[in-house]
Structure 1
């Protein structure tokens, strides 16, 4: 089985949208291990709608839209790392992590700890707004320290060429392209926008 992890420098930056486009481009399957917040459309539902690809059930579905450790505590749920082992898939598996790397799953375990055990290549999604250089380089440094293999960096938002060059040069990461802000998000518009993403480069590390 081949898998790629999609993570980000923060929450709400477009990881789910990117994951939907990627799983469609790869003809893969999608998995969100921990879903915090069940009001409205979940990330799995968004990916299913925008990709039409298989979506595997979450290991944990938590009602409160908060850090997973807090959501789990509110419901009396114990998040156990053994339940977060990568599931079997006969397609390339796109795994979307929650929030940023240092999001706690429990009072002792960070998402980064689990990602390092998965030993799958990581795509880091970064904003293109002010502050992205600091956040992106800190995230790349954390991934390196944890022994994670970084497939590259994807930028989400308006073009900021200098920031992209600085992040990839100093962070020694591959620029996998940019996903622009889409005024109308459909499967078709997302697929067209993915022309700017180095899908072949991602496929090559699987």
Structure 2
């Protein structure tokens, strides 16, 4: 016998139940044998088939796509899972260090997405690792690469003001100086949206050389 969930118990007439932990057995059909003896010594015997059909297939992660938007400094990561699962999305740098965890929770099957804010990241190749685990502890993990290539410009003016908005009369939030490097996030009309250190603002396009 693989297991004896109930042994030599005295039970009153009526409906009863027994629990068999099937975690250690393989898929297949098994027989449960039920025997009972009444007070008069009469014995009843019955066998019942039990079919174990446990999910052994790992979740499938497909349609993985990554896209970055330098104007917002955010990347969108989309993917599809074929069953409900606990999903973790991690970002690792070129040295294998985790620099971002985008989600760690259960998702329903279907198309999903996660957003990575790469504001504080330097240029480089990063790895997006997506792991999904279903209710039967089957796990699937896939990885894909995402490239961060922020455009760098060099200041040509002796001094260049970083403006709060695309207006020469708007508030100055910082200054750049000749031959300084600056990260260009986007071009909007005659202005570049730039990042210098932790500051974001706008500078006149004519004073920046790519």
Task: Specify if TM > 0.5.
Answer: no
Structure richer in strand, relative to its length: 2
Q: Which has the higher contact order (CA 8 A, sep 6+)?
A: 1
Structure richer in helix, relative to its length: 1
TM-score, with structure 2 as normaliser:
0.17
Structure with the greater alpha carbon radius of gyration: 2
TM-score, with structure 1 as normaliser:
0.17
